[in-house]
Amino acid sequence: MKFISKHRRRAKISLIDYSKNSYQEKTIKSISECFPFKNKPTVTWINVDGLQQKQALEQLGKCYGFHHLVIEDIYHTRQRPKVEDYEEYFYIVLRMVYYQNNNINQLSSEQISLVLSSNYVISFQEGIRGDVFDPVRKRIKSGKNRIVNFGTDYLTYSLIDAIVDNYFTVIEKLGDKIEDLEEELLTEPTPETLKNIDNLKRIIIDLRRSIWPLREVISRMQREDSPLIKDSTKVYLRDVYDHTVLVIENIETLRDILAGMIEIYLSSISNKMNEIIKVLTIISTIFIPLTFVVGLYGMNFDFMPELRSPWGYPAVLLIMASVAIGMLFYFKKKKWL
Protein backbone atom coordinates (compact mmCIF):
# COMPACT_ATOMS: atom_id res chain seq x y z
CA MET A 1 0.00 0.00 0.00
CA LYS A 2 1.77 3.12 -1.19
CA PHE A 3 0.63 6.35 0.44
CA ILE A 4 1.80 9.08 -1.87
CA SER A 5 0.43 9.01 -5.37
CA LYS A 6 2.95 9.80 -8.04
CA HIS A 7 0.76 11.03 -10.88
CA ARG A 8 -1.68 13.66 -9.76
CA ARG A 9 -4.29 14.69 -12.21
CA ARG A 10 -5.34 18.28 -12.57
CA ALA A 11 -7.93 18.99 -9.86
CA LYS A 12 -11.62 18.92 -10.73
CA ILE A 13 -13.76 20.99 -8.40
CA SER A 14 -17.52 20.63 -8.35
CA LEU A 15 -20.03 22.44 -6.19
CA ILE A 16 -23.53 21.41 -5.23
CA ASP A 17 -25.74 23.77 -3.29
CA TYR A 18 -29.12 22.49 -2.12
CA SER A 19 -31.86 22.86 0.37
CA LYS A 20 -35.30 21.28 0.67
CA ASN A 21 -36.53 23.36 -2.21
CA SER A 22 -33.49 24.42 -4.23
CA TYR A 23 -30.78 22.65 -6.19
CA GLN A 24 -27.74 24.13 -7.92
CA GLU A 25 -24.78 22.32 -9.48
CA LYS A 26 -21.61 23.95 -10.74
CA THR A 27 -18.21 22.96 -12.08
CA ILE A 28 -15.68 25.32 -10.59
CA LYS A 29 -12.96 26.72 -12.83
CA SER A 30 -11.54 29.30 -10.44
CA ILE A 31 -11.44 28.92 -6.69
CA SER A 32 -12.97 32.33 -6.20
CA GLU A 33 -16.28 31.04 -7.56
CA CYS A 34 -16.69 29.18 -4.27
CA PHE A 35 -16.39 32.19 -2.03
CA PRO A 36 -19.97 33.54 -2.30
CA PHE A 37 -21.31 30.26 -0.92
CA LYS A 38 -19.42 30.57 2.34
CA ASN A 39 -22.22 32.19 4.29
CA LYS A 40 -25.24 30.93 2.35
CA PRO A 41 -27.64 29.21 4.76
CA THR A 42 -28.30 26.35 2.30
CA VAL A 43 -26.13 23.23 2.35
CA THR A 44 -23.08 23.68 0.11
CA TRP A 45 -20.97 20.70 -0.85
CA ILE A 46 -17.68 21.42 -2.58
CA ASN A 47 -15.82 18.35 -3.83
CA VAL A 48 -12.13 18.80 -4.74
CA ASP A 49 -10.91 15.87 -6.81
CA GLY A 50 -7.11 15.92 -7.16
CA LEU A 51 -4.76 17.82 -4.88
CA GLN A 52 -1.84 18.86 -7.05
CA GLN A 53 -2.33 22.60 -6.89
CA LYS A 54 -1.35 23.49 -3.38
CA GLN A 55 -1.82 27.18 -4.08
CA ALA A 56 -5.50 26.81 -4.93
CA LEU A 57 -5.88 24.73 -1.81
CA GLU A 58 -4.41 27.48 0.33
CA GLN A 59 -6.65 30.07 -1.27
CA LEU A 60 -9.71 28.00 -0.49
CA GLY A 61 -8.43 27.33 3.04
CA LYS A 62 -7.85 31.00 3.70
CA CYS A 63 -11.32 31.99 2.49
CA TYR A 64 -13.01 29.36 4.67
CA GLY A 65 -10.70 30.02 7.60
CA PHE A 66 -8.93 26.68 7.94
CA HIS A 67 -6.07 26.22 10.41
CA HIS A 68 -2.86 25.91 8.41
CA LEU A 69 -2.24 22.44 9.91
CA VAL A 70 -5.52 21.34 8.29
CA ILE A 71 -4.27 22.46 4.90
CA GLU A 72 -0.99 20.63 5.49
CA ASP A 73 -2.85 17.45 6.40
CA ILE A 74 -5.11 17.67 3.36
CA TYR A 75 -2.09 18.05 1.12
CA HIS A 76 0.17 15.40 2.66
CA THR A 77 -2.03 12.44 1.95
CA ARG A 78 -0.63 9.88 4.36
CA GLN A 79 -2.59 10.76 7.48
CA ARG A 80 -4.33 8.15 9.60
CA PRO A 81 -8.11 8.41 9.80
CA LYS A 82 -8.94 10.94 12.51
CA VAL A 83 -11.42 13.62 13.50
CA GLU A 84 -10.42 16.98 14.88
CA ASP A 85 -12.74 19.53 16.41
CA TYR A 86 -11.83 23.13 15.52
CA GLU A 87 -15.09 24.44 17.04
CA GLU A 88 -16.15 26.33 13.86
CA TYR A 89 -15.70 23.16 11.84
CA PHE A 90 -14.73 19.50 12.05
CA TYR A 91 -11.78 18.15 10.11
CA ILE A 92 -12.17 14.47 9.27
CA VAL A 93 -9.63 12.23 7.53
CA LEU A 94 -10.71 8.91 6.04
CA ARG A 95 -9.03 6.37 3.79
CA MET A 96 -10.68 4.86 0.73
CA VAL A 97 -9.19 1.56 -0.49
CA TYR A 98 -9.22 0.14 -4.02
CA TYR A 99 -7.37 -2.36 -6.17
CA GLN A 100 -4.83 -0.77 -8.47
CA ASN A 101 -5.57 -1.73 -12.09
CA ASN A 102 -8.22 -4.07 -10.71
CA ASN A 103 -5.36 -6.33 -9.65
CA ILE A 104 -6.33 -7.94 -6.38
CA ASN A 105 -2.70 -8.23 -5.33
CA GLN A 106 -2.20 -4.47 -5.36
CA LEU A 107 -4.35 -2.81 -2.79
CA SER A 108 -3.93 0.96 -2.70
CA SER A 109 -5.62 3.56 -0.60
CA GLU A 110 -6.23 7.25 -1.04
CA GLN A 111 -6.92 9.84 1.60
CA ILE A 112 -10.28 11.58 1.72
CA SER A 113 -10.52 14.71 3.85
CA LEU A 114 -13.83 16.21 4.92
CA VAL A 115 -14.40 19.63 6.43
CA LEU A 116 -17.82 19.89 8.05
CA SER A 117 -19.23 23.25 9.01
CA SER A 118 -22.77 24.33 9.87
CA ASN A 119 -23.62 25.25 6.27
CA TYR A 120 -21.01 23.63 4.05
CA VAL A 121 -19.09 20.39 3.58
CA ILE A 122 -15.85 20.39 1.60
CA SER A 123 -14.45 17.03 0.56
CA PHE A 124 -10.95 16.47 -0.82
CA GLN A 125 -10.07 13.37 -2.77
CA GLU A 126 -6.67 12.43 -4.17
CA GLY A 127 -8.57 11.73 -7.32
CA ILE A 128 -6.73 8.71 -8.59
CA ARG A 129 -9.70 6.42 -8.67
CA GLY A 130 -13.23 6.86 -9.98
CA ASP A 131 -15.61 8.74 -7.75
CA VAL A 132 -16.93 6.87 -4.73
CA PHE A 133 -19.39 9.69 -3.99
CA ASP A 134 -21.49 9.32 -7.14
CA PRO A 135 -24.41 7.60 -5.41
CA VAL A 136 -24.64 10.45 -2.88
CA ARG A 137 -24.67 13.00 -5.70
CA LYS A 138 -27.51 11.17 -7.40
CA ARG A 139 -29.57 11.02 -4.25
CA ILE A 140 -29.24 14.77 -3.73
CA LYS A 141 -30.14 15.46 -7.35
CA SER A 142 -33.26 13.28 -7.19
CA GLY A 143 -34.41 15.66 -4.47
CA LYS A 144 -36.95 13.28 -2.99
CA ASN A 145 -34.51 11.66 -0.65
CA ARG A 146 -34.21 12.17 3.06
CA ILE A 147 -30.85 13.79 2.40
CA VAL A 148 -32.30 17.13 1.30
CA ASN A 149 -34.28 17.51 4.50
CA PHE A 150 -31.30 17.27 6.76
CA GLY A 151 -28.24 19.46 7.16
CA THR A 152 -24.50 19.22 6.59
CA ASP A 153 -24.06 16.56 9.27
CA TYR A 154 -26.35 14.16 7.42
CA LEU A 155 -24.46 14.87 4.21
CA THR A 156 -21.21 14.03 6.03
CA TYR A 157 -22.77 10.83 7.30
CA SER A 158 -23.77 9.93 3.73
CA LEU A 159 -20.22 10.47 2.48
CA ILE A 160 -18.72 8.34 5.28
CA ASP A 161 -21.34 5.69 4.61
CA ALA A 162 -20.32 5.60 0.94
CA ILE A 163 -16.71 5.00 1.95
CA VAL A 164 -17.58 2.23 4.41
CA ASP A 165 -19.79 0.58 1.78
CA ASN A 166 -16.77 0.60 -0.51
CA TYR A 167 -14.89 -1.53 2.05
CA PHE A 168 -17.55 -4.21 1.72
CA THR A 169 -16.94 -4.37 -2.04
CA VAL A 170 -13.20 -4.66 -1.52
CA ILE A 171 -13.56 -7.40 1.09
CA GLU A 172 -15.99 -9.35 -1.04
CA LYS A 173 -13.43 -9.55 -3.86
CA LEU A 174 -10.82 -10.61 -1.34
CA GLY A 175 -13.13 -13.36 -0.10
CA ASP A 176 -13.54 -14.65 -3.68
CA LYS A 177 -9.77 -14.71 -4.16
CA ILE A 178 -9.35 -16.61 -0.91
CA GLU A 179 -11.92 -19.17 -2.02
CA ASP A 180 -9.95 -19.67 -5.25
CA LEU A 181 -6.77 -20.16 -3.26
CA GLU A 182 -8.50 -22.69 -1.03
CA GLU A 183 -9.53 -24.63 -4.12
CA GLU A 184 -5.93 -24.53 -5.34
CA LEU A 185 -4.68 -25.57 -1.92
CA LEU A 186 -6.77 -28.73 -1.92
CA THR A 187 -6.02 -29.79 -5.49
CA GLU A 188 -2.47 -28.76 -6.27
CA PRO A 189 -0.54 -26.65 -3.77
CA THR A 190 2.69 -25.10 -5.07
CA PRO A 191 5.18 -22.76 -3.42
CA GLU A 192 3.39 -20.10 -5.48
CA THR A 193 0.26 -20.76 -3.43
CA LEU A 194 2.05 -19.93 -0.21
CA LYS A 195 3.37 -16.71 -1.69
CA ASN A 196 -0.17 -15.77 -2.66
CA ILE A 197 -1.48 -16.51 0.81
CA ASP A 198 1.28 -14.43 2.34
CA ASN A 199 0.46 -11.58 -0.02
CA LEU A 200 -3.21 -11.67 0.94
CA LYS A 201 -2.18 -11.61 4.59
CA ARG A 202 -0.39 -8.34 3.98
CA ILE A 203 -3.39 -6.87 2.22
CA ILE A 204 -5.52 -7.87 5.19
CA ILE A 205 -3.05 -6.15 7.49
CA ASP A 206 -3.25 -2.99 5.38
CA LEU A 207 -7.03 -3.11 5.44
CA ARG A 208 -7.07 -3.44 9.23
CA ARG A 209 -4.81 -0.42 9.48
CA SER A 210 -7.24 1.68 7.43
CA ILE A 211 -10.46 0.55 9.03
CA TRP A 212 -9.58 0.36 12.74
CA PRO A 213 -9.04 4.08 13.23
CA LEU A 214 -12.15 4.76 11.15
CA ARG A 215 -14.16 2.99 13.82
CA GLU A 216 -12.69 5.29 16.42
CA VAL A 217 -13.40 8.34 14.27
CA ILE A 218 -17.09 7.51 13.97
CA SER A 219 -17.30 6.62 17.65
CA ARG A 220 -15.80 9.99 18.59
CA MET A 221 -18.19 11.85 16.29
CA GLN A 222 -21.09 10.13 18.08
CA ARG A 223 -19.82 11.20 21.49
CA GLU A 224 -18.94 14.73 20.30
CA ASP A 225 -20.95 17.39 22.08
CA SER A 226 -21.05 20.00 19.31
CA PRO A 227 -23.93 21.82 17.62
CA LEU A 228 -22.42 20.75 14.29
CA ILE A 229 -23.68 17.18 14.78
CA LYS A 230 -27.34 16.94 15.66
CA ASP A 231 -28.75 14.15 17.82
CA SER A 232 -31.00 12.94 15.01
CA THR A 233 -27.90 12.35 12.90
CA LYS A 234 -26.15 10.46 15.67
CA VAL A 235 -28.61 7.60 15.21
CA TYR A 236 -27.33 7.31 11.65
CA LEU A 237 -23.72 7.49 12.82
CA ARG A 238 -24.49 4.58 15.14
CA ASP A 239 -25.66 2.70 12.07
CA VAL A 240 -22.51 3.35 10.06
CA TYR A 241 -20.51 2.50 13.20
CA ASP A 242 -22.19 -0.91 13.25
CA HIS A 243 -21.23 -1.38 9.60
CA THR A 244 -17.63 -0.53 10.38
CA VAL A 245 -17.56 -3.12 13.14
CA LEU A 246 -18.99 -5.62 10.67
CA VAL A 247 -16.20 -4.80 8.20
CA ILE A 248 -13.63 -5.32 10.95
CA GLU A 249 -15.15 -8.65 11.93
CA ASN A 250 -15.13 -9.85 8.34
CA ILE A 251 -11.48 -8.86 8.05
CA GLU A 252 -10.66 -10.77 11.23
CA THR A 253 -12.46 -13.83 9.88
CA LEU A 254 -10.47 -13.69 6.65
CA ARG A 255 -7.29 -13.39 8.68
CA ASP A 256 -8.14 -16.48 10.70
CA ILE A 257 -8.96 -18.36 7.50
CA LEU A 258 -5.61 -17.41 5.96
CA ALA A 259 -3.78 -18.57 9.10
CA GLY A 260 -5.55 -21.92 8.84
CA MET A 261 -4.65 -22.15 5.13
CA ILE A 262 -0.93 -21.79 5.87
CA GLU A 263 -1.20 -24.63 8.36
CA ILE A 264 -2.90 -26.82 5.75
CA TYR A 265 -0.33 -25.87 3.12
CA LEU A 266 2.59 -26.85 5.34
CA SER A 267 0.93 -30.10 6.27
CA SER A 268 0.15 -30.94 2.62
CA ILE A 269 3.83 -30.40 1.75
CA SER A 270 4.94 -32.88 4.36
CA ASN A 271 2.23 -35.31 3.29
CA LYS A 272 3.62 -35.23 -0.22
CA MET A 273 7.13 -35.86 1.04
CA ASN A 274 5.77 -38.75 3.09
CA GLU A 275 4.28 -40.34 0.02
CA ILE A 276 7.47 -40.01 -2.03
CA ILE A 277 9.53 -41.56 0.73
CA LYS A 278 7.00 -44.37 0.98
CA VAL A 279 7.43 -45.28 -2.70
CA LEU A 280 11.20 -45.24 -2.33
CA THR A 281 11.04 -47.45 0.70
CA ILE A 282 8.70 -50.01 -0.87
CA ILE A 283 10.79 -50.41 -4.03
CA SER A 284 14.06 -50.54 -2.10
CA THR A 285 12.99 -52.97 0.58
CA ILE A 286 11.56 -55.40 -1.97
CA PHE A 287 14.44 -55.39 -4.44
CA ILE A 288 17.48 -54.99 -2.22
CA PRO A 289 17.15 -58.47 -0.64
CA LEU A 290 16.37 -60.02 -4.03
CA THR A 291 19.42 -58.41 -5.57
CA PHE A 292 21.45 -59.91 -2.76
CA VAL A 293 20.12 -63.39 -3.60
CA VAL A 294 20.91 -63.17 -7.30
CA GLY A 295 24.34 -61.79 -6.42
CA LEU A 296 24.85 -64.80 -4.16
CA TYR A 297 24.48 -67.26 -7.02
CA GLY A 298 26.58 -65.08 -9.26
CA MET A 299 29.63 -65.92 -7.16
CA ASN A 300 32.34 -67.92 -8.87
CA PHE A 301 33.24 -70.45 -6.14
CA ASP A 302 34.26 -73.82 -7.55
CA PHE A 303 32.29 -75.70 -4.96
CA MET A 304 28.71 -74.41 -4.85
CA PRO A 305 26.54 -77.56 -5.05
CA GLU A 306 23.26 -75.58 -5.61
CA LEU A 307 24.59 -74.37 -8.94
CA ARG A 308 24.93 -77.88 -10.24
CA SER A 309 21.43 -79.02 -9.28
CA PRO A 310 18.81 -78.85 -12.05
CA TRP A 311 16.27 -77.59 -9.46
CA GLY A 312 18.53 -74.75 -8.25
CA TYR A 313 17.30 -72.10 -10.64
CA PRO A 314 13.54 -72.68 -10.20
CA ALA A 315 14.01 -73.04 -6.45
CA VAL A 316 15.73 -69.64 -6.24
CA LEU A 317 13.03 -68.05 -8.38
CA LEU A 318 10.40 -69.47 -6.04
CA ILE A 319 12.18 -68.24 -2.95
CA MET A 320 12.51 -64.74 -4.38
CA ALA A 321 8.83 -64.65 -5.35
CA SER A 322 7.90 -65.65 -1.80
CA VAL A 323 10.09 -62.93 -0.30
CA ALA A 324 8.56 -60.29 -2.60
CA ILE A 325 5.01 -61.41 -1.84
CA GLY A 326 5.76 -61.52 1.88
CA MET A 327 7.04 -57.96 1.75
CA LEU A 328 3.94 -56.80 -0.09
CA PHE A 329 1.76 -58.35 2.58
CA TYR A 330 3.79 -56.59 5.27
CA PHE A 331 3.32 -53.23 3.54
CA LYS A 332 -0.37 -53.93 3.12
CA LYS A 333 -0.63 -54.55 6.84
CA LYS A 334 1.25 -51.32 7.58
CA LYS A 335 -1.21 -49.51 5.26
CA TRP A 336 1.58 -48.20 3.05
CA LEU A 337 -0.10 -49.50 -0.08
In angstroms, what is the minimal distance from the CB of 259 to a copy of itself?
9
- φ/ψ of residue 334, rounded to 5: -75, 0
In angstroms, what is the minimal distance from the CB of 69 to a copy of itself?
6
In angstroms, what is the minimal distance from the CB of 209 to a copy of itself?
6
Nearest to 113 by CA among 189, 60, 186: 60
Compute the distance between CA of residue 21 and CA of residue 217 in angstroms, rounded to an integer: 32
Which C-beta is closer to a copy of itself: that of 99 or that of 336? 336
In angstroms, what is the minimal distance from the CB of 328 to a copy of itself?
14
Compute the distance between CA of residue 12 and CA of residue 49 in angstroms, rounded to an integer: 5
In angstroms, what is the minimal distance from the CB of 128 to a copy of itself?
20
Which C-beta is closer to a copy of itself: that of 205 or that of 325? 205
Which C-beta is closer to a copy of itself: that of 14 or that of 219? 219
Which C-beta is closer to a copy of itself: that of 130 or that of 191? 191
Torsion-angle region of residue 304: left (phi > 0), alpha (psi -120 to 50) or beta?
Answer: beta
- β pairing state of 107-116 and 90-99: antiparallel
Compute the distance between CA of residue 310 and CA of residue 77 in angstroms, rounded to an integer: 95
Distant-in-sequence, close-in-space partners of 213: CB < 8 Å, separation ≥ 6: 80, 81, 82
Which C-beta is closer to a copy of itself: that of 46 or that of 70? 70
Element (H, E) at 112: strand 107-116
Nearest to 122 by CA among 99, 89, 167, 81: 89
Which C-beta is closer to a copy of itself: that of 15 or that of 92? 92
In angstroms, what is the minimal distance from the CB of 67 to a copy of itself?
7
